[in-house]
Amino acid sequence: MSDKTETKLNGILEDIFQKIEYIGKTQLMIVSWIAKQDSDFQMQFIAQSLANDEIRNGFTEFLDEFDAPDKLRTFMMEINEIARKASKEEE
């Protein structure tokens, strides 16, 4: 691949990453606003997010890495146990 092609592809990728970041920030703002207005939506959104293994595991790692309060760690341990049991039941 030529340097010119590589430079062009890097520019395209950077543009894509900026657009994805903008979409993510916009979505976060919308979800945050709706969650403040509607506690049922907030609970459903959190439950749906934590039902995703990748998101839940990433959040658990984040809590461990940044020395989160014990109450929050215990909560995530309980959520992980519920998810593990649900996964076993699906098998």
76 C-beta neighbours (distance < 10 Å), count: 20
Per-residue pLDDT tens over the stretch 33-91: 999 999 999 988 888 888 888 988 898 888 888 888 989 889 888 888 888 887 777 76
Per-residue pLDDT tens over the stretch 68-82: 898 988 988 888 888
Q: Could you tell me if 64 and 57 are in contact, meaning their C-beta atoms sit under 8 angstroms apart?
A: no
Domain ranges of the chain: 1-37, 38-91
